[in-house]
Amino acid sequence: MSRSTSSEATVQLELERHPYRNAVRNGRPDTVVHVGEARIPIGGGAVAVIAGPCAVEGRDTLLATARALSGLGVRMLRGGAFKPRTSPHSFQGLGHEGLELLAEARELTGMAIVTEVLSPEEVPLVARYADVLQVGTRNMANYRLLQALGDCGRPVLLKRGMAATVEELLCAAEYVLAAGNPDVILCERGIRSFEPLVRNAFDLNVIPLLAELTHLPVIVDPSHAAGRVDLVHGVSLGAVAAGAHGLIVEVHEQPGAALVDGGQSLDLAGAARLLDGVDAVAGAIGRRLDRAAHTVAA
Task: Please state, in angstroms and rounded to a whole number, the distance separating the CA atoms of residues 119 and 133.
Answer: 11
| C-beta nearest to Mn ion: residue | 54
Q: Does 248 bind Mn ion (CB under 5 A)?
A: no
The β-bridge relationship of strands 156-159 and 132-135 is: parallel
Among 67, 154, 159, 215, which residue sits at the site for ligand PEP (rule: CB under 6 A)? 159
Alpha helices (H) along 29-112: 59-71, 96-109
The single-letter code of the amino acid at 22 is N
C-alpha distances (whole Å) from 232 to each of 1, 129, 229, 236, 251 are 56, 29, 5, 6, 11
Nearer to ligand PEP, 71 or 227 (CB): 227
End-to-end CA gap in the chain:
66
**Using CB under 6 A as the criterion, what x/- string covers residues 42-81 for binding ligand PEP?**
------------x-------------------------x-
Count the neighbouring beta carbons within 10 Å of the beta carbon of residue 97: 13
The β-bridge relationship of strands 33-35 and 40-42 is: antiparallel
Q: Does 287 bind ligand PEP (CB under 6 A)?
A: no
Which of Mn ion, ligand PEP, none is residue 136 near (CB under 5 to 8 Å by kind)? ligand PEP
User: How many chain residues bind Mn ion (CB under 5 A)?
Assistant: 2
**Using CB under 5 A as the criterion, what x/- string covers residues 53-72 for binding Mn ion?**
-x------------------
For binding to ligand PEP (CB under 6 A), which residues are involved? 54, 80, 84, 116, 136-137, 159, 189, 221, 224
For binding to Mn ion (CB under 5 A), which residues are involved? 54, 261
